[in-house]
Every structure is written in C-alpha cells, then in structure tokens.
Structure 1
Amino acid sequence: MKQPELSRRISLLQATAINMTDMVGIGPFIVLSVVAETMHGPGFLYAWVAGAVLSFIDAMVWSELGATFPKAGGSYNFLKEGFGPKTGKLMSFLFVWQTMIQAPLVIASAAIGFSTYAGYIFPLGFWGTKAVSGGMVLLIVFLLYRNIETIGKISVLLWMGVLVTMAWIIGGGIAHGHFFEPVKHINDGLQLNYTFATALGFASVKTVYSYLGYYNVCHLGGEIRQPEKNIPRSMLISITGITVLYLCMNISVASVLPFDRVAHSPFVVSEFIEVLGGPTAAKVATVLILWVAFASVFSATLGYSRIPYAAAQDGAFFKVFARLHPTKNFPYVSLLFLGAIAFVFSLLFRIKEVIDAILAMRIMIQFIAQAVGLILLSKRKGRNFFKWHMPLYPMPVILAIMIWIGIFISTGLHMMLAGATVTIAGIIVYIIKSRLQKSLL
C-alpha cells in the first residue's frame, strides 16, 4: 500500500494569499494605537516603515533558503542544512522545541485579539472573552482538517475578505479629504536623538509582529508549485502589498481621528469608521476586522502544523508527529497537538504579554541563527548552490542579523531572559535525548 505524501498543489496566488492573511490578522488593528502612543507623535509612521524594511531584508534570507530547500517545515530544514551534520541537528531540534511553545502562542495571540476586538460589538466579560478565543481555535482546527487543495481555495476566499476590509478603511480616509495631512506633519516635533531611537526600537517590536508571516510559505515548501520561483515571489509580493496597506491604513485613520484618540483607543479602527459612517457602519467594519483575524489564525496554524511533521519525518522528533491523514494527506497529529496547546494558551494569557514573548522566543533560533546558517552554507557550497540569489550578498544578511539583535534587545530584559531560558532548556533536553539514544544502540 502506497504511503500518503504531501503534494504540490498550492499556486503562486494561493501562496501569496496564505502569506498575506497570516501577516495582517488582528495585529495591525490592535498595534496601531500602541505604536502611536509609544512614538508620541505623527512620527509613528516611521515605525511601520522600519518594520517593512526589516521584513524585506529578512525575506532575502528566507527566499534563498526556501527556494533551495522547498520542503515541509521551513526553518527546520534551513538550520539543519546551514549548520552542517552535527550542529545542524542541535539547531533544528531547538527550532522545533521553541516552535512547540511559540507556535501555539502565535495562534492564541490572534484568537485573544479576536475575542478582545469582538467586545466592540458584544460586551463579553472575562469568561465570554475566553470562550470566544478558545472556540475560535477549535473552529480553525476543524476547518484545517482537510486536504491542501481545499485549504488553498479557502485561503483565497479569506484573503479577499482581508483586501475588502483594508480597502474600506483606506477609502474612508481618502474620501474624508485630508488623507495626506499625517504625511505632511510626520516630522512635527521630531528630534533625531536617543529618545527617538529608543521609542522607535520599542515601537518596531510591535510593527514587526504585524509583518510576521511573510515566510509562512516556506513552512509549506513541500506543497508549493514551482517553489524555486513561487516561494521568493510570494514573499516579496506579500510584503510589498502589506506595506502599502499598513501605511495607507495608518495614514487614513490619523487623517480622521485626533492623535490622542488614535494613541489611546482600544478599538481605533472601529471608532474611525464610526466617525465616518455611524455606529452601524462601525459594527460592520468590526465584523470584517474579525474576519481578518480569523483568516490570520487559519493561515498561521496551517504553516506551523508542518514543522513538527517535518522534524518527525526526519527522525529528529517524536515519530507520532510524522503521521499523515490516510485519505486527506495532511499532518493531522501535528495539527491536533498544536491546536490543543493553543486552546489552553488562549484561555491563560493576554494579548500584550504574548506579542513580546513571541518575538523574544523566535529571534535567536529562527531569525538570527538562520541568517548565520545561510552564510555558513554559502562558504561550504558556494553561491551557485542556491536556486535564488539575493542582490548585494552578504549585506542583506548582515543587516538582518544586526536589526534582529536590536529588536531582541527592545523586547526587554524579562522577555530576553525568557527566550534564553527556553533555548537553554532545549539544549539540556537535546543532550539528554542524544545520550539516551546512544545508550539504546
């Protein structure tokens, strides 16, 4: 009997839709006010530009690795190949180790944001909010419990909802007639000093969170058609599109609402629509924002479910995660496990706690180590080994490493220590696991 296997059914359009729906989510609607408050003025737009710049630079690293190693699991394969046979096993194990914690945190953060924003329409209370966030995770797992071709079509449908929502928000600001006012005043009161640099660093932690997901297609590498072309293209198209949408959305909101309201409103986009079109329009807009949040969780959960599967299939993780559904050909054990942990996290945490924890946990192993691995692989194999080549190598890689170090520091000492603790715990588990395996031989 033939063993089930992943099939390449995801097109460039579907890959771009998966990336963009993952990137938008509830993040920009919640983070918008936090960034404005942190920057203390119209210069908050610079934080969104900074997030876009980092995303473009880092996408160069992902594009080279994703096009060359188009397999399920993304970073798991990149770290293993980049650091070589011995160190690569440790680094790839650490990536899966932290993924089993931070992936459910990502899913939970969107679910928590969804339930929080739903409070604009329905005052849910503490237990109602928890019930909605937990129920959202369960619904996502249910929808993902099917073959990848169907999921690709669902992703395009959800993506269309994302574009409609953003178009309405941006169109409202343009129709209001003062769309370019925030841009004209972007430098009002701006001083290029340590205070500004510090504020930009803290604000960029939040904007970068809103851009994350541009690499989701790499986790689905084994299911992408013509991966050497479509993986880099989908990432660069996604980042370009989302950058334009984010900047226009922020400008649009700031052109209508006074800055103090932008900086302190928990439902800033809904209130923006309410000013333009009244309470009913605001409620409709809130429903569309919730659609966007739902789409993001759908896309993120899809990508993350492939990581434990890839590691288990490679013999580096528990074998049970290597199982594919016998008829629908997707890693159902991995999906169900991550969904279960995300469900628990959605009941335990608050959105602000989760955002910094996600970044601090990812940066060392996934982003910085992955970039270092690309440099090491280039030295061993030569530049011709790669299926896609970034311009001006190695400058984008070096810049990415430096910026990620800055973002890591900006998450704060508490989160830095938490990320380091998870990594150290992973190293200890890896050593114990390796010794147990040797003793059994």
Structure 2
Amino acid sequence: MKQPELSRRISLLQATAINMTDMVGIGPFIVLSLVATTMHGPGFLYAWVAGAVLSFIDAMVWSELGATFPMAGGSYNFLKEGFGPRTGKLMSFLFVWQTMIQAPLVIASAAIGFAHYAGYILPLGFWGTKAVSGGMVLLIIFMLYRKIETIGRISVLLWMGVLVTMAWIIGGGIAHGRFMEPIRHVNDGLQLNYAFATALGMASVKTVYSYLGYYNVCHLGGEITRPEKNIPRSMLISIAGISVLYLCMNISVASVLPQDQIEQSSFVVSEFIEALMGSTAAKIGTVLILWVAFASVFSATLGYSRIPYAAAKDGAFFSVFARLHPTKNFPHVSLLVLGGVAFVFSLLFKIKEVIDAILAMRIMIQFIAQAVGLMLLSRRNGRTFFKWHMPLYPIPVILAILIWACIFISTGPHMMLAGLTVTIAGVIVYVIKSRLPVRHL
C-alpha cells in the first residue's frame, strides 16, 4: 500500500496569503502601545521601520535556503544541510527541540491577545478570558484537520479579512485629514544618543515580533508549487505589503489619538475607531481585529505543524510525529501535539510574558545559526549551488547576524538566560537520544 505524501498544491497567491495572515496577527494591535511607551514620542515610527529592514534582510537568507531546499520543515532542513553531517544533526535537532516550546508559545500568544482584545466588546473576567483563548486554539486545530488545498482556500478568505481591516483603519486616518502630522513631527525631541539607541533596540524587539511569519512559507516548502520562484516571491511581497500596512496604521492612529492615550491604552486601535466613528463602529472594528488574530493563529499553526513531522520523517525526532493522516495527507500527530501544548500555554501565560521569550528562544538557533549555515554552504558548494541569489552577498547575511545579536541582547538578561537554558537542555537531550537504540525514537 502506497504511503500518503505531501502534495504541492499551494500557489503563489495562497502562499502570500498564508504569510501575510501569519504576520498580521494580534501582534501589531497589542504592541503598538508598548512600542510607543518605550520610545515615548513620535519617533516610535522608527522602531517599525527597523523591524521592516531586519525582515527584508533576513528574508534574503530564507529565500536562498527555501528555494534550494523546498521541503517541509524549513529551518530543520536548512540547519542540517548548512552545518554538515555531524554538526548539522545537532543543530537541526536543537531547532526542533526549541520549536516544541516556542511554537506553542507563538500560538498561545495570539490566542491570549485575541481574548484580551475581545474584552473591549464584552468584559470577560479572568476565567472568561482563559476560556476564550483556550477555545480559540481548539477551534484552530479543528479547522486545520483537513486537506491542504482546502486550507489554501481558507487562507485566502482569512487574508481578505485582514486586508479589509487594515484598509478601514488606514482609511479612517486619511479621512480624518491629519494623516501627515505624525510624519512631520517624527523627529520632535529626537536625539541620536545612547538612550535613543537603547530604546530603539527594546522597541524593535516588539516590532520584530509583529513581523515574524514572513518565512512561514518555508515550513510548507514541500507543498508549494514552483518553490524556487514562489518561496522568495511570497516572502518579499509579504514583507513589502505588511511594512506599508504597519506604518500607515501607526501613522493613522497617531494622527487621531494623543501620544499619552496611545501609550496608556489597552485597546488602542478600538479607541482610535471609536474616536472617529463612535462606539458601534469601534465594536465592529474590534470584531475585524479578532478576525485578523484568528487568521494569524490559523496560519502559524499550519506552518509549525510541519517541523516535527519533517524531523521525524528524517529519523531525527520521535517517529510518531512522522505520521500523516491516512486520507487527508497532513501531519495530524504533530498538529495535535503542538496544538495541545499551545492550549495549555494559553491558559497559563499573559501576552507580555511570551513576546520576549519567543524571540530569545529562537534567535540563536533559527536566525543566527541559520545565517551562518548559509555561509558555510556557500563556501563548500559555491554560489551557483543556490536556486535563488540575494544581491550583494555576503553583506545581507552579515547584517542579519549582527542585527539579530543586538535584538537578542535587547530581550534582557532574564530572557537571554532562558534562551540559553533551553538550548543547553536540548544539547543534553540530544546526547542522551544519540546513545539510545534507534527503536527508541
């Protein structure tokens, strides 16, 4: 009997939709106030520009690797190939190891943010908030329990809701008539000194979190049509589109609400709509924001579920994760396990606790090590080996490594220690696993 296999059914449009819905989750609506508070002035727009610049630079690394190794699992394959037979096994295992923790954190953070913003419409209380966040994770798992071509169509529908929501927010600011005011005053009180650099670094931790997801298509590499072209294109189109949307959204909000209200608000975009159109419109806008948050969790969970599957299929992780659904051909065990852990996390944590933790855990292995692996591959195989080529190599790779290192430091000593602890624990588990007979995988 032929074993079920992943099929290439996701088009460029669907891949871009999956990426953009992952990127525009609840993140920008939650962290807008946090970024404004950190920068404390109209210069907070620079933090959003910094996040976009880093995303573009890092996407070049992902594009070269994703186009060359278009397989399920993304970074798992990139690290294994980049670091070679021996070290590559360790690095790829560490990536899967931290994915089993940080992927549920990402899913849970969006679910928690969803429940938080729902409080604008109906105050939920402590237990009500937990019920909504946990219920959202369960609903996502139910919706993803189907064939990939169906999921591709659902992603496009969710993406349309994202675009409508962002267009309404931006259009409201433009119609207000003061859209250019935040840009004219962006440098008011700005001093290029150590304090500004520190604040920009701390704020960029939050904006980068909002841009994360531009690489989601790489995790679905085994299901993308014409991957050598569509993977890079979908990432670069996604980042360009989202950068414009984020900047315009922040400018719109800043053109209507005073700086103090932006910094102190828990529902800043809902209050922005209320100031322009009244409470009924604000509630409708909040529903659309919740649509965006739901779409993001849907997309992120889809991509992450392919990582343990790819590692298990390769014999580097527990074999149960390699199972595909017998009729729908998707990694159902991986989806259920990650979703189950995310459900627990959604009941335990708060949104602000997980943002820094997500970045601190993944920067060293997924971003910095992956960029190093690309340079090692280039040295061994030459530049002609890659199916897509970044301009000005190796400058973007070096810049990506340096910027990610700065972001890692900006997460703070506690989160840096947490990230290192998870990595060290992964090394210990890897050593133990490597000494066990193969049948124990």
TM exceeds 0.5?
Answer: yes
SS at match of 2:119: helix
Once residues 308 and 147 of structure 1 are traced to their aligned partners in structure 2, the CA distance between those partners, rounded to angstroms, is: 18
Once residues 425 and 275 of structure 2 are traced to their aligned partners in structure 1, the CA distance between those partners, rounded to angstroms, is: 50
Aligned to 1:134: 134
Query: Which deviations, in whole Å up to 9, do the C-alpha atoms of 1:28-80 show, x marking residues without a partner?
Result: 00000000010010000000000000000000000000000000000000000
Query: Which deviations, in whole Å up to 9, do the C-alpha atoms of 1:385-424 show, x marking residues without a partner?
Result: 0000000000000000000000000000000000000000
Alpha-carbon RMSD across the aligned residues, in angstroms, is 0.8
Aligned to 2:146: 146
Matched, 1:397 2:397: yes
Once residues 239 and 139 of structure 1 are traced to their aligned partners in structure 2, the CA distance between those partners, rounded to angstroms, is: 28
1:341-420 to 2 correspondences below 5 Å: 341-420=341-420
Matched, 1:71 2:71: yes
The one-letter code matched in structure 1 to 2:119 is: G
Aligned to 1:257: 257
Matched, 1:424 2:424: yes
Aligned to 2:164: 164
Once residues 204 and 322 of structure 1 are traced to their aligned partners in structure 2, the CA distance between those partners, rounded to angstroms, is: 37
Aligned to 2:218: 218
Matched, 1:33 2:42: no
Once residues 436 and 308 of structure 2 are traced to their aligned partners in structure 1, the CA distance between those partners, rounded to angstroms, is: 21
Q: CA deviation at 1:263?
A: 1.1
Identity of aligned residues (%): 87
Aligned to 1:299: 299
Once residues 61 and 438 of structure 1 are traced to their aligned partners in structure 2, the CA distance between those partners, rounded to angstroms, is: 33
Q: CA deviation at 1:439?
A: 11
SS at match of 1:330: coil
Once residues 382 and 127 of structure 1 are traced to their aligned partners in structure 2, the CA distance between those partners, rounded to angstroms, is: 57
SS at match of 1:407: helix
Once residues 12 and 434 of structure 1 are traced to their aligned partners in structure 2, the CA distance between those partners, rounded to angstroms, is: 39
Matched, 1:92 2:92: yes
Q: CA deviation at 1:438?
A: 8.0
Aligned to 1:7: 7
The one-letter code matched in structure 1 to 2:250 is: N
Once residues 226 and 68 of structure 2 are traced to their aligned partners in structure 1, the CA distance between those partners, rounded to angstroms, is: 11
Query: Which deviations, in whole Å up to 9, do the C-alpha atoms of 1:117-171 show, x marking residues without a partner?
Result: 0000010000000000000000000000000000000000000000000000000
Query: Which deviations, in whole Å up to 9, do the C-alpha atoms of 1:351-400 show, x marking residues without a partner?
Result: 00000000000000000000000000000000000000000000000000
Once residues 55 and 362 of structure 1 are traced to their aligned partners in structure 2, the CA distance between those partners, rounded to angstroms, is: 15
Q: Indicate how the Cα distance of structure 1 residues 336 and 438 shifts in structure 2: closer, same or farther if over 3 A, else same.
A: closer
Aligned to 2:285: 285
Query: Which deviations, in whole Å up to 9, do the C-alpha atoms of 1:314-370 show, x marking residues without a partner?
Result: 000000000000000000000000000000000000000000000000000000000
Once residues 260 and 408 of structure 2 are traced to their aligned partners in structure 1, the CA distance between those partners, rounded to angstroms, is: 29
Aligned to 2:42: 42
Matched, 1:106 2:106: yes
1:169-180 to 2 correspondences below 5 Å: 169-180=169-180
Aligned to 1:332: 332
- Which residues of structure 2 form unaligned runs of 5+? none
Aligned to 1:316: 316
Query: Which deviations, in whole Å up to 9, do the C-alpha atoms of 1:153-195 show, x marking residues without a partner?
Result: 0000000000000000000000000000000000000000000
Aligned to 1:198: 198
SS at match of 2:3: coil
Once residues 178 and 346 of structure 1 are traced to their aligned partners in structure 2, the CA distance between those partners, rounded to angstroms, is: 39
Once residues 95 and 437 of structure 1 are traced to their aligned partners in structure 2, the CA distance between those partners, rounded to angstroms, is: 22
Q: CA deviation at 1:437?
A: 3.1
SS at match of 1:241: helix
Q: CA deviation at 1:435?
A: 1.5
Once residues 264 and 24 of structure 1 are traced to their aligned partners in structure 2, the CA distance between those partners, rounded to angstroms, is: 22
Once residues 437 and 374 of structure 1 are traced to their aligned partners in structure 2, the CA distance between those partners, rounded to angstroms, is: 32
The one-letter code matched in structure 2 to 1:145 is: Y
- Which residues of structure 1 form unaligned runs of 5+? none
Once residues 382 and 16 of structure 2 are traced to their aligned partners in structure 1, the CA distance between those partners, rounded to angstroms, is: 30
Q: Indicate how the Cα distance of structure 1 residues 438 and 171 shifts in structure 2: closer, same or farther if over 3 A, else same.
A: closer
TM-score of the superposed pair, with normalisation by structure 1: 0.99
Query: Which deviations, in whole Å up to 9, do the C-alpha atoms of 1:219-267 show, x marking residues without a partner?
Result: 0000000000000000000000000000000000000001110111000
The one-letter code matched in structure 2 to 1:361 is: M
Which 4+ residue blocks in structure 1 deviate beyond 2 angstroms? 437-440
The one-letter code matched in structure 2 to 1:201 is: G
Once residues 248 and 433 of structure 2 are traced to their aligned partners in structure 1, the CA distance between those partners, rounded to angstroms, is: 50
| Aligned positions, number | 440
Query: Which deviations, in whole Å up to 9, do the C-alpha atoms of 1:277-306 show, x marking residues without a partner?
Result: 000000000000000000000000000000
SS at match of 1:436: coil
Once residues 172 and 289 of structure 2 are traced to their aligned partners in structure 1, the CA distance between those partners, rounded to angstroms, is: 15
Once residues 274 and 12 of structure 1 are traced to their aligned partners in structure 2, the CA distance between those partners, rounded to angstroms, is: 37
Once residues 439 and 315 of structure 2 are traced to their aligned partners in structure 1, the CA distance between those partners, rounded to angstroms, is: 17
Once residues 5 and 439 of structure 1 are traced to their aligned partners in structure 2, the CA distance between those partners, rounded to angstroms, is: 23
Once residues 394 and 384 of structure 2 are traced to their aligned partners in structure 1, the CA distance between those partners, rounded to angstroms, is: 14
